[in-house]
């Protein structure tokens, strides 16, 4: 049973960089069948997809976040990471990492989610 767990600071100052890591256990991040994903949910609001990374290191980002976003992976540690720069209060959200079951190119259904971590942007 694959499990995902987010880790990182719960509080980030405005204009700084938000950094989170997702540790995958019970399965390999080097699986060619999956896109490893970040999804966020502002308090009381809906779900917003942030981006994908494939085991090859290829990425696809939400166009609305692309200029501030970087997703990377560390296959030796079975982890993938999110960096979002120049954050504002609008970036306050629960951040989930999720496993996307690959359907076709850059297309996935999210069949396994981490527990989520709340990141607050505030001075």
Counting contacts by CB under 8 A, is residue 103 touching another protein?
yes
C-alpha 20/C-alpha 34 separation (Å) is: 20
> How many residues would you count in the chain?
123
Q: Are 40 and 93 in contact (CB under 8 A)?
A: yes
Please, which of residues 27-46 interact with another protein by CB under 8 A? 46
Stretch that binds another protein, among 10-18, 23-31, 71-79, 109-117 (CB under 8 A): 109-117
Structure tokens at 102: 């690959």
Counting contacts by CB under 8 A, is residue 55 touching another protein?
no
Options 29, 38, 40, 52; binder of another protein; rule CB under 8 A? 52
DSSP state of 17: -
Q: Whole-number minimum distance, CB 2 to another protein, in Å? A: 13
C-alpha 68/C-alpha 87 separation (Å) is: 9
Counting contacts by CB under 8 A, is residue 107 touching another protein?
yes
């Amino acid at each position: 049973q694959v499990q995902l767990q987010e880790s990182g600071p719960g509080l980030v100052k405005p204009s700084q960089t938000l950094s989170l890591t997702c540790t995958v256990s019970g399965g390999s991040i080097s699986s060619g069948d999956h896109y490893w994903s970040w999804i966020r949910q502002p308090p009381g609001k809906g779900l917003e997809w942030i981006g994908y990374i494939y085991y090859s290191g290829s990425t696809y980002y939400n166009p609305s976040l692309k200029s501030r976003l970087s997703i990377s992976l560390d296959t030796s540690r079975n982890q993938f990471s999110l960096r979002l720069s120049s954050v504002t209060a609008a970036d306050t959200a629960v951040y989930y990492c999720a496993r996307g079951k690959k359907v076709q190119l850059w297309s996935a259904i999210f069949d396994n989610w981490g527990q989520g971590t709340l990141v607050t942007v505030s001075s």
